[in-house]
Amino acid sequence: MNLIYRKAQAADLSILISLLYQDELGAQREKPNSIFIDKYKEAFQKIDSDPNHYLMVVEQNKKMIGTCHLTLLPSLTYCGSTRMQIEAVRVLEECRNQKVGEWMIKQAITYGQSKGAYIIQLTTNCQRESSIKFYERLGFKASHVGFKLISTKIKK
The pLDDT tens digits of the residues spanning 37-58 come to 788 899 999 999 999 999 999 9
The DSSP code sequence of 46-79 is HHHH-TTEEEEEEEETTEEEEEEEEEEEE-SHHH
34 falls in which pLDDT band (50, 70, 90)?
Answer: low
pLDDT reported for residue 147: 85
pLDDT, tens only, 79-88: 999 999 999 9
Note the pTM of the prediction, 2 decimals.
0.88
User: Is pLDDT at 5 greater than 90 in this prediction?
Assistant: yes
| Amino acid found at 156 | K
pLDDT reported for residue 73: 97
156 falls in which pLDDT band (50, 70, 90)?
Answer: very low
pLDDT reported for residue 155: 53
- 99-121 burial, b at 16+ Cβ within 10 Å, e below that, comes to ebbebbbebbbebbeeeebeebb
User: Is pLDDT at 154 greater than 70 in this prediction?
Assistant: no
Nearest to 100 by CA among 63, 49, 46: 63
| Amino acid found at 81 | S
Pairing mode, strands 63-74 and 53-60: antiparallel
What stretch of H or E contains 42? helix 37-49
User: Is pLDDT at 28 greater than 60 in this prediction?
Assistant: no
